[in-house]
DNA sequence: CGCATTCAAGACAGAATGTCTATGGTCCCG
DNA sequence: CGGGACCATAGACATTCTGTCTTGAATGCG
């Protein structure tokens, strides 16, 4: 609640609520959008709630609104009915989450995440092989590719 | 994802609330615990709320309880006052979050995360070098190191 | 115009979060 | 032994978040 002491104005509390990532229901909608270039709310609702009615459609509408606020989808109002399309793909969403973890736990650095993954023992030999090639390529390239979107 | 079932069970909603990771306030407490082998609630409260009083202490107490429920800390009741110690270190917590992201977005696979990190352009040359060595070692070893805790 | 569809706004219940109060237990010291 | 200091447990509380739904206005069409 952050009570504010008028005189001493301390503000030393752990209080910190971070913005909030994408929620489960939102992700479901987003995934449906990833499967098509664009879609109307109705189409999405029919896909997600096979035998849903008007209220389910409204639910999807609301989720789309919230996704738009989070810049995960864009709406084309010129179409009738309006269509939505994803503005972030799975890889970028992964990146967003990864950044969240890094910011929260590693002072923003990706390196500890990388270390953990490599040592997790959950990367297959084939993937390790690919990784090795990729790392090798990056090495000679020198300048890494530019960063993607990011908000 | 959840909805879409052929036999039209009632359960068709995106509804899916995942358990919930550690929260911000909890993380603050946990980080304070990481800085010492163990600590009493009072010590933690004094560290986190430099000029807090009894209610702040109670807040920390509650956060410790919730952390204990999430198996992030353990309490030694024999000590008077009881002491808490972290049962998960930063690396393990990172792992837990990483697993969460993988489960949510990559059907549980770590590989896409790894790919993203390597291609993010945010890994320093030095770290890349280390990575390359580590990858090389893992390769010849064959059997990966044992997995860490994981509940 | 009448109607169906679409959209916007908000209501709502239940859970999560950070915080606090109240109450009762323990222990020490005079 | 009694009082007080400290500690612990329970629960209350205000907010916010989440998934859902209702309502009523806007829009387009035959």
Cis peptide before B62 (omega within 30 of 0): no
Q: What is the reported pLDDT for A140?
A: 58
Inter-chain CB proximity A104 and B27 less than 8 Å: yes
Q: Give chain B's mean pLDDT.
A: 81
What average pLDDT score do residues A47-71 get?
93
Residues near strand C (C-beta below 7 A) are A 1-3, 13-17, 40-42, 54, 58, 61-62, 65, 77, 80-82; B 17, 20-21, 23-26, 52, 54-56, 58-59, 61-63, 80
Q: Give chain A's mean pLDDT.
A: 81
Domain A24-86, architecture per CATH: Orthogonal Bundle (1.10)
Q: What is the reported pLDDT for A132?
A: 79
Q: Among the residues of B77-124, which ranges form H helices?
A: 90-105, 111-119
Burial of B1-12, coded b for 16+ CB within 10 Å and e otherwise, reads eebeeeeeeeeb
- Given the structure tokens 């024999």, which residue do they identify? B78
What's the pLDDT band for A27 if we cut at 50, 70, 90?
very high
What's the pLDDT band for A141 if we cut at 50, 70, 90?
low
Q: Which residues of A touch B104 (CB under 8 A)?
A: 27, 97
Kindly report the nearest CA distance between residue B113 and chain A, in angstroms.
7
- Given the structure tokens 């459609």, which residue do they identify? A57
Q: What is the reported pLDDT for B142?
A: 47
**Residue A67 above 90 pLDDT?**
yes
Q: Which residues of B touch A97 (CB under 8 A)?
A: 101, 104-105
What average pLDDT score do residues B119-132 get?
84
**DSSP collapsed to 3 states, A90-108:** HHHHHHHHHHHHHHHHCCC
Count CB atoms within 10 A of the CB of residue B55.
9
Domain boundaries, chain B: 24-86, 90-141
pLDDT in tens, A108-133: 999 999 989 988 888 888 888 888 78
B22 touches chain A (CB under 8 A): no
Q: CB burial class (10 A; 0-12, 13-18, 19+) of residue A39?
A: buried
**A83 CA → D28 C1’, Å:** 17
Q: Which residue has the higher pLDDT, B23 or B8?
A: B23
Strands B73-76, B83-86: pairing kind: antiparallel
Give percent above pLDDT 70 in chain A: 78
Inter-chain CB proximity B120 and A90 less than 8 Å: no
Q: What is the reported pLDDT for A4?
A: 33
Inter-chain CB proximity B134 and A121 less than 8 Å: no
Q: What is the reported pLDDT for B73?
A: 96
Q: What is the reported pLDDT for B18?
A: 58
Distance CA B149, CA B112 (A): 22
The angle subtended at Cα A23 by Cα B61 and Cα B151, nearest 5°, is 50
CA distances from B133 to B130, B136, B148 (A): 5, 5, 21
Sheet of strand B39-40: strand arrangement: B39-40, B83-86, B73-76
What's the pLDDT band for B2 if we cut at 50, 70, 90?
very low
What average pLDDT score do residues B111-135 get?
85
User: Which of B 107-146 have CB under 7 A of nucleic chain D?
Assistant: none
DSSP B84: E
CA distances from B55 to A110, B41, B45, B82 (A): 37, 12, 10, 18
Burial of A109-122, coded b for 16+ CB within 10 Å and e otherwise, reads ebbbbbbbbbbbeb
Q: What is the reported pLDDT for A10?
A: 36
Pick from B143, B104, B111: nearest CA to B17 = B104
Kindly report the nearest CA distance between residue B46 and chain A, in angstroms.
11
**Residue A29 above 60 pLDDT?**
yes
What's the length of chain B?
151
pLDDT in tens, B29-54: 999 999 999 999 999 999 999 887 88
């Amino acid at each position: 609640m952050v009570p504010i002491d008028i005189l001493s104005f301390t503000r030393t509390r752990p209080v910190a609520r971070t913005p909030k990532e994408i929620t489960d229901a939102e992700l479901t909608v987003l995934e449906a959008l990833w499967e098509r270039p664009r879609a109307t709310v109705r189409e999405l609702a029919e896909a997600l709630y096979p035998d849903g009615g008007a209220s389910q459609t409204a639910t999807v509408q609301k989720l789309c609104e919230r996704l738009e606020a989070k810049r995960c989808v864009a709406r084309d109002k010129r179409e009738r009915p309006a269509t939505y399309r994803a503005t972030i793909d799975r890889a970028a969403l992964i990146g967003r989450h990864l950044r969240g973890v890094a910011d929260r736990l590693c002072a923003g650095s990706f390196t500890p995440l990388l270390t953990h993954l490599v040592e997790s023992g959950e990367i297959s030999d084939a993937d390790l092989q690919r990784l090795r090639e990729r790392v090798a390529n990056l090495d000679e390239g020198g300048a890494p590719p530019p960063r993607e979107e990011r908000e």
